[in-house]
Amino acid sequence: MDLGFSLTRTAIKHGERVAIIFKDRVLTYKRLNERVNRLGNALSGLGLEKGTKVALLLNNCNELVESIYGILKAGGIVVPINTRLSTQEICFLVDHSDSSTFVFDITFVEKFEAVRRESDKVQHFIVCNDEKFPGVHHYEGLLQAASPEEPKVNHIDEHDEAFIIYTAGTTGRPKGVVLTHSNFLWNCVNYCMGGITRPEDYNLQIFPLFHVAGLASALAAIFIGCKTYLKDKIDPEDCLETIQRESINKFGAIPSIGAAVVNLPGIHKFNLDSVKLLGSGGAPMPPEVKRKLSEIFRKAGIYDCYGQTESAGTITALLPKDAFREPASVGQAFFTNIVKVFDDQDRELPPGQVGELVYDGYTRMRQYYKDPEATAEAIRGGWMHSGDLAMMDEEGFFYIVDRKKDMIITGGENVYSIEVEDTIAKMPGIAETGVIGLPDPKWGETVTAVIVLKPGVILNEEEVIRFCKTQIAAYKAPKKVIFAGSLPKSPIGKILKKELKALYGGK
């Protein structure tokens, strides 16, 4: 079994079932597989061999899905690139990954021109629009000229490398996470056996597929043969309109998108009763946001997933049956994963104590590409060190306390930003908040809350601090509150603490 064959198998079993809807294009599994085969054969015709890297600079679209599977069926390795990166960053990733083919959308023509100018490794460029460029292959033209038969490639093994996905680069340069066919196949099994991907799903996919969360969910959907409505942008109101119009029954987003949904004016004008499964991931879901979502999506079970790029998606899941019994938890380990909590000397801690979450299992990455030192540091004693501080209870439920690097040390006390954020979220009028530690000559770090208020709401710093002190220990409460119009976010809407610190560190 390999990922390419998982599509072939689904196309054989469910050929006439709709696989993807993107804008005005509807692709059945049979049609999707034919287009993937054509692309795989076209890439082979261009000289792509087993192990060749292909970089993709595309927002969500059917061509992105086709490219992923076409590359895999041809034996190549997919290098998905975050479309919001700067030209300089993209050129670095293309060079570092040793990509010899570059597939792009015309939207990113300036970034393509920079890669063509700077890279001496890329031999072939493929554009996915009607625009023609000298020396650039046209995507549809390649497909029309190629065979729809299954590509004939030397044996692709499940342990072969399938993806190099670059991390956000919170410290230094981004690291290329090398993931195999097997990593993602077992993740698909986890999703399907865990009940968070089902054959009857009609899924609204807004997670970017260049991000591991979006990629993992899309691969699982094709693995089991469900239907996906693909979006190339994140717009809460547009999502709700689509859910109502299409009778979507599954919808997933990160907590900040969930918060945007519950704060959307006129939210109750939408009929969202078709949604039976509501997913969250990328960051812990504040219990108050979860409660409000359950009121809006009245017939939906809510689940939370926790994972990272290095785990091919998910490590633990809090299933709907436990959503409000353990609302602050990220759930229990998937059955293919072993998860523990270690202290700073890599000794296992008992339930109830905070340490670093570590894991092993079939979804764990192989290595960081061309970075043996970082690989050795991350995988010690056979355990992948997540960089997240966590606690496990007696039932095996895990609670993410903070990112290790985001923990604030103020006056010698450890303060976990997530706890402070959850506290502030309880205040009426709060749209969203990010809590960071800023340098302080007396305390070492000052607990600082950057807050976005709902329209028309007026709050001052003193009110926020006073409220927090009624809920948590005084040393955990913010000493400084900054009101902002928005918070810097990643392409999937995750608040970027590093950018917050850069923005407000000198104020």
**Which phi and psi angles does 101 have, rounded to 5°?**
-135, 145
Q: What does the pLDDT look like over 81-112, one tens digit per residue?
A: 999 888 988 999 999 999 999 999 999 999 99
Q: Are residues 151 and 197 in the same domain?
A: no
Q: Are residues 435 and 454 in the same domain?
A: yes
Q: Are residues 247 and 363 in the same domain?
A: yes
Note whether residue 181 is domain-resident: no
Q: Are residues 453 and 361 in the same domain?
A: no
Q: Are residues 365 and 413 in the same domain?
A: no
User: Is the model more confident about 183 or about 417?
Assistant: 183
Q: What's the pTM value of the predicted model, to 2 decimals? A: 0.87
Contacts (Cβ under 8 Å, ≥6 apart) of 36: 4, 7, 66, 69, 70, 73
Number of domains in the chain: 3
Grade residue 1 by pLDDT with cuts at 50, 70 and 90: confident
Q: Are residues 448 and 309 in the same domain?
A: no
Q: Residue 127 is inside which H or E element, if any? A: strand 124-127
Q: Is the pLDDT of residue 484 over 90?
A: yes
CA–CA distances in Å: residue 240 to residues 151, 267, 479:
40, 9, 38
CB atoms within 10 A of CB 18: 17
Residue carrying the six token digits 């993602």: 184
Q: Are residues 112 and 243 in the same domain?
A: no
Helix axis angle for 3-13 and 181-194, nearest 10°, is: 50
Q: Which residues pair with 126 in a beta bridge?
A: 103, 137
Q: Are residues 228 and 325 in the same domain?
A: yes
Note whether residue 257 is domain-resident: yes
Q: What does the pLDDT look like over 354-403, one tens digit per residue?
A: 999 999 999 999 999 999 999 999 999 999 999 999 999 999 999 988 87
Q: Are residues 338 and 464 in the same domain?
A: no
Q: What does the pLDDT look like over 124-163, one tens digit per residue?
A: 999 998 777 889 999 999 999 999 999 998 789 999 999 9
Q: Are residues 206 and 344 in the same domain?
A: yes
Q: Which residues constitute the domain of residue 13?
A: 3-156
Q: Are residues 413 and 319 in the same domain?
A: no
- Res 170: pLDDT: 44
Q: Are residues 394 and 252 in the same domain?
A: yes
Note whether residue 369 is domain-resident: yes
Note whether residue 179 is domain-resident: no
Q: What does the pLDDT look like over 118-127, one tens digit per residue?
A: 999 999 999 9
What is the domain-level CATH number for residue 222? 3.40.50.12780
Three-state SS for 342-408 is: ECCCCCECCCCCCEEEEEEECCCCCEECCCHHHHHHHEECCEEEEEEEEEECCCCCEEEEEEHHHCE
